[in-house]
Amino acid sequence: MDLDADLLNVTDPGRRFDAMAELRRNDPVHRMDGTDGPLYLASRAAVADALPNIDCFGGAVGAADVHPDLQSLNGVSEPRHGRIRRIVNGMIAPHKAGEVRPFLEALCSERLDAIDSMGSDPVEAMGQFIDHVPSSAICWLSGWDAKDAIQLYRWTVEICEKAMNMKPGNSGTIADMVPAFGDYVEERVSARVALEASKWPDDGMTRLLTTEIEGERLSPTAVKTQLLFLLGAGSETSRDMMGLLLYHLASDPELYARVRADRALIPKATLEALRLCSPTQFMVRRCTKATEVDGHPVAKGESIYIGLASANRDEAHWSDPTRFDLDRPNAADHLAFGDGPHVCPGTFLVRLETRIACNALFDRYERIERAEDGPFEPLRTPMFYGPATLPLRFFRA
């Protein structure tokens, strides 16, 4: 078993999960690639210790090598991170994100109408339904036309694939990785700035451009950077988790029937999908000053892989951790959104999107089933976990 290769396996997620389990048993703070490689945190204790330590692990690998205006939220260190986050919270926190509900309910109905029009043949549920939901929601909240949502998601996939090449000293930005995406956002931010301010709509882009934190606004370049990040982050992980939940619902008729009959179980099903499936398998951070993680020394400048997926399957914290258990009492202990001051700001939005999509499915279909046996076709990236495609059959109520 080549543990390091298996941890980053892009074709067989099962090998990744087996490698994580091996590390949790024998080497929970693991040095990859011999003596000079990054550290991989496999145990929940190590991950839970590192995540809140933003003074030492606050920036993404490569983020320190570019101008602050080109650092996306996940790579910005304090105190700048907190200032930008306050603006982002105004875009996607519960009081604002809840406004997207009518739009998403109509979108889900429209996408399911399209599925019904296809007849009884298997339908590729990711491309026809799930891909549209989170990408359209973040478009709506940001002030984008939702007709561009799928293109934005495709650019996000391209970013995810290229992000694995980021290393200290690599000054690549999102716009550098996918120039067409950068040009797209640049054009729209420039058009907004050129418009008379009194005509700016009340949307996410306007909030980013106009909100003052300690008497200072973000520059147009910084606004472009954060929009690139938000449009991508708001699409990928939510989409993956929803696809993984749908996979489990379609694989287990009793589970589907139970949640369909009692919609109050949707939040529990969402928590368990986040725990078991962990759409973000790991985060890569750089240590900014010498510290310890779960008793292990970490030197300044070292890169660490924070193994969210491994932590969420830790046998020391969860019984029978590889089973989807709707009644798991501590499912909310998952670390899929991170933890501490830099926990994902989109947690409410993800839960809202999932609840709306599930209710739309349950209202219309008495059951759904997978059209193919065995595991789904996974995304070809080790950092994110979700179905690339998911052929399903839908049966009207």
Is the Cβ–Cβ distance between 240 and 279 less than 8 Å?
Answer: yes
**Contacts from 230-233 at CB under 8 Å and sequence distance 24+?**
230/73, 230/88, 230/91, 230/92, 230/138, 230/142, 230/204, 231/138, 231/139, 231/142, 231/144, 231/152, 231/156, 231/185, 232/152, 232/155, 232/156, 232/159, 232/174, 233/73, 233/74, 233/346
Q: Which of 57, 91, 52, 103 is nearest to 77 (CA)?
A: 57
DSSP-derived letter for residue 320 is S
CA 14 – CA 225 distance, rounded (Å): 35
Domain count, the chain: 1
Greatest mean pLDDT among 90-99, 150-159, 275-284 lies in 275-284
170: pLDDT strictly greater than 60: no
Q: Which residues are bridge partners to 377 per DSSP?
A: 389
Tokens of 233: 């982050």
Tokens of 384: 């994110």
80-106 tens-digit pLDDT: 888 999 999 888 888 888 899 999 999
Q: Secondary structure of the chain: what % helix, strand, coil (to 5)?
A: 55, 10, 35
Q: What are phi and psi of 234, to 5 degrees?
A: -75, -10
pLDDT at 60: 67
Quickly count: other Cβ atoms within 10 Å of residue 33's Cβ.
8
CA 327 – CA 324 distance, rounded (Å): 9
pLDDT at 160: 76
DSSP-derived letter for residue 76 is P
Tokens of 205: 């882009």
Q: What is the mean pLDDT of the chain?
A: 91
322-367 tens-digit pLDDT: 999 999 999 999 999 999 999 999 999 999 999 999 999 999 999 9
pLDDT at 61: 56
- Classify 395 as helix, strand or coil: strand
User: Residue 171 is part of a domain; what is its CATH number?
Assistant: 1.10.630.10
Q: Which of 43, 44, 8, 51 is nearest to 27 (CA)?
A: 43
User: Residue 382 belongs to what domain range?
Assistant: 3-396
| Residue 168: band (very low, low, confident or very high) from pLDDT cuts 50, 70, 90 | very low
